[in-house]
């Protein structure tokens, strides 16, 4: 961590948060597309990964992201009751509640992780959510990089 920060300082480069957004194909990804076609901007720090359903997001992916230096991870799915696969987002909700409290425990604050419901018609909500989430991550600053202790000497 310490080393990286100095590296940034040496290059005199502004720190930019790295945010991974998992979006379900049916609602949120389409909502992100709508945000785009409505030209509702949000920070470029957000990079979207398309998944068929929010319930496809394995906790391992999130851990991996934090291990690789992500500063925030957001999962977007259909509104409860509107899941294309009927029940997928309910699983997401429960799984992430568990995962996020565990992450909080090991030092990844709750503000860095979020589950949000965005429908295909909510381009404005998508953009607003991303703006708000990025602002939150910016206020939290750089994240502690998760590491595998077994690889340390």
Pick between residue 119 and residue 153 the one whose CB is nearest to another protein.
119
Using rule CB under 8 A, residue 144 touches another protein: no
Q: Say if residues 64 and 46 touch (Cβ distance below 8 Å).
A: no
Using rule CB under 8 A, residue 82 touches another protein: yes
Q: Say if residues 23 and 29 touch (Cβ distance below 8 Å).
A: yes
Q: What is the C-alpha separation between 88 and 115, in angstroms, rounded?
A: 13
CB of 9 to another protein, least distance (A): 20
Pick between residue 57 and residue 137 the one whose CB is nearest to another protein.
57
Using rule CB under 8 A, residue 64 touches another protein: yes
Any idea what the Cα angle at residue 56 is, between residues 40 and 123, rounded to 5°?
A: 15
Using rule CB under 8 A, residue 120 touches another protein: yes
Q: What is the C-alpha separation between 153 and 150, in angstroms, rounded?
A: 8
Using CB under 8 A, pick the residue from 1, 60, 98, 102 that binds another protein: 60
Using CB under 8 A, pick the residue from 17, 72, 74, 88 that binds another protein: 88
Q: Which two tokens stand for residue 20?
A: 């991974």
């Amino acid at each position: 961590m310490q080393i990286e920060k100095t590296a940034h300082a040496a290059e005199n480069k502004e720190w930019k948060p790295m945010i991974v957004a998992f979006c379900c194909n049916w609602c949120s990804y389409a909502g992100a597309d709508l945000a785009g076609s409505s030209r509702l901007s949000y920070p470029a720090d957000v990079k979207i990964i398309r998944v068929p359903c929010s319930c496809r997001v394995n906790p391992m992916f999130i851990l991996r992201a934090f291990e690789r230096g992500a500063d925030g991870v957001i999962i977007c799915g259909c509104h409860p009751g509107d899941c294309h696969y009927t029940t997928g987002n309910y699983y997401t909700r429960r799984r992430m509640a568990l995962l996020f409290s565990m992450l909080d425990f090991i030092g990844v604050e709750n503000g860095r992780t979020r589950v949000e419901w965005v429908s295909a018609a909510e381009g404005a909500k998508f953009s607003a959510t991303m703006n708000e989430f990025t602002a939150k991550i910016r206020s939290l600053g750089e994240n502690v990089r998760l590491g595998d202790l077994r690889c340390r000497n």
